[in-house]
Chain A
Amino acid sequence: MNHIIATEKLNLFYNDFHALKDINMKMRANTVTALIGPSGCGKSTYLRLFNRMNDLIDGVKITGDVRVEGKDIYEKNTDVVDLRRKVGMVFQKPNPFPKTIFENVAYGLRVNGINDNGFIKDKVEQSLVQSALWDEVKDKMNKSAFELSGGQQQRLCIARALAIEPSIILMDEPASALDPISTAKIEELIYELKQNYTIVIVTHNMQQAARVSDHTAFFYLGELIEYGETKEIFTNPKDKKTQNYITGRFG
């Protein structure tokens, strides 16, 4: 089976703290997987495995396999820059750079050594169209990104991630700081994007997980309790803990 992302017997420690326990999970290309679970259960930690962002944290120890497109990305000869080009990330709080709208999207291309201005211009426009922001910003490309609303800034960050043509997009609560209309736009966008990308999204909003994802994984205290089709998880979860969590009867 062609699974674009897979972890096997994956364990992660923050010093002595066992944050992820024996996680086996596989995700197919062009699907959306939602990671749900109470705060501190390890969702963000799990997400950060795939672009090796946990490497930046002191005292992290990882055992087991993490494979992206079939390759073990924790092997010594892994090119982390190349990996991060392939695996884009969008955070909870929109984090545009203090630059123009145009330069925000162009940034990743320039860092990757591209300086063909015609190409960059086309790519910026294409990414903004894909992130459903183009119509709102096409007349003010040289304005500061900070002039945009929170929801627009988040779509700008998505455009920035798309510009370098990743195959996987990681999203850590991408809509939790947004108003309902911006949230709906992001959800619509996720639905559109999955035709071309594989998306893994952490969300605290159960209904959002149900709406946007094909598969849902429920984490609890560092363990993967249940992982399956979203339809199944939300109509007939197998594990009592999953049921208690999604029906709001936890603890």
Chain B
Amino acid sequence: MTHLDKESLQLKTDLIGMWNLVISQLNKTHEALINFDKDLAHEVVANEKRVNGHELKIDNDCENLFALFNPVAIDLRFTLAVLKINSNLERTGDMADGIGRFILNGNGPFDEELLKVTQVIHMYDEASSMLVDILMAFEHENTKIARSIFKRDEILNQININSIQVVADYIRTHPDNIEQALFVLSIIRKLERVGDHCKNIAEEIIFYIEAKVLKHASKKQKAE
């Protein structure tokens, strides 16, 4: 193994560490939402600093790798991909933090009917399993898994689009619970963003492994 190989492997390990932390942050807000667990939500908000710390360290390691090793070809694409994935993970961490704060500000357990009609829990399941799968794609350099993310992101987009109508209907029938309904709408918005980040990460993985640029490509191009 060359020196650069060792450094790249360390970077990969660190990014996977960051990834697992973000997945756990998101899963904790999921649980906190269902159980209206303010302690857990508080833990997520407190942990946000650790996510930011990870991000800075990985950024810094990428910077050093560029400066000291002048990576080219696959090494260059790998380092660029790590840099961008890192920033997408940090933003995903922000989403978890934001959701945690909603829960902290809530004044009672969320109405189960509201959670059900908005499909927010389904969205949660989908978003966190996307994050896990895209991590697997990265770990095993599997672009097939990476490509499967694009379709799944559309599921989240669709739920998000429908949510305005669903929440409006809910508010009409539950005028006493407007605040919660708006919280849930905001959570849906954030989960939709998580889907976007997963999609961006999938594009970076394909770029680094296959040297294909999929950003802003059409759906048909992405499937190829």
Q: Which residue of A lies closest to B1 (CB)?
A: A249
Q: Which residues of B contact A237 (CB under 8 A)?
A: 73
Please choose the segment from B74-82, B92-100, B177-185 that sits at the chain A interface, where 4 or more of its residues have CB less than 8 A away: B74-82
> Is the pair B211, A248 in contact by a Cβ cutoff of 8 Å?
no
> Is the pair B2, A234 in contact by a Cβ cutoff of 8 Å?
no
Nearest-Cβ distance from residue B83 to partner chain A, whole angstroms: 15
Q: Which residue of B lies closest to A238 (CB)?
A: B211
Binary per-residue interface labels of chain A (238-251) against chain B in the complex, 1 for a CB within 8 Å, 0 otherwise: 00000100111100
Binary per-residue interface labels of chain A (206-224) against chain B in the complex, 1 for a CB within 8 Å, 0 otherwise: 1100100000000000000
Chain A interface extent, by class: 10 to 19
Let me know if B70 is at the binding interface, CB within 8 A: yes
Contacts A235-B211, A236-B211: A207 and B73 contacting too (C-beta < 8 A)?
no
Contacts A210-B72, A235-B211: A248 and B77 contacting too (C-beta < 8 A)?
no
From 220 to 235 in chain A, residues with beta carbon under 8 angstroms from any chain B beta carbon are 234-235
> Is the pair B73, A243 in contact by a Cβ cutoff of 8 Å?
yes
> Is the pair A235, B77 in contact by a Cβ cutoff of 8 Å?
yes
A237-B211 Cα distance, complex, nearest whole Å: 10
> Is the pair A235, B2 in contact by a Cβ cutoff of 8 Å?
no
Q: Which residues of A contact B77 (CB under 8 A)?
A: 235-236
Let me know if B34 is at the binding interface, CB within 8 A: no
Q: Which residues of A contact B71 (CB under 8 A)?
A: 247
Q: Which residue of B lies closest to A243 (CB)?
A: B73
From 18 to 54 in chain B, residues with beta carbon under 8 angstroms from any chain A beta carbon are none
Pick the most buried of B5, B73, B74: most chain A CB atoms within 10 A of its CB: B73
> Is the pair B76, A234 in contact by a Cβ cutoff of 8 Å?
yes
> Is the pair B75, A247 in contact by a Cβ cutoff of 8 Å?
yes
From 165 to 197 in chain B, residues with beta carbon under 8 angstroms from any chain A beta carbon are none
| Closest 9 pairs between A and B when the two form their complex, measured CB to CB | A236-B211, A234-B72, A243-B73, A246-B72, A247-B75, A237-B73, A247-B73, A207-B70, A246-B73
B interface residues with partner A (beta carbon < 8 Å): 2, 4-5, 70-77, 211
Apart from the given pairs A234-B76, A247-B74, A248-B4, 5 other A-B contacts in the complex at a CB distance below 8 Å = A206-B70, A235-B73, A237-B73, A246-B72, A247-B4
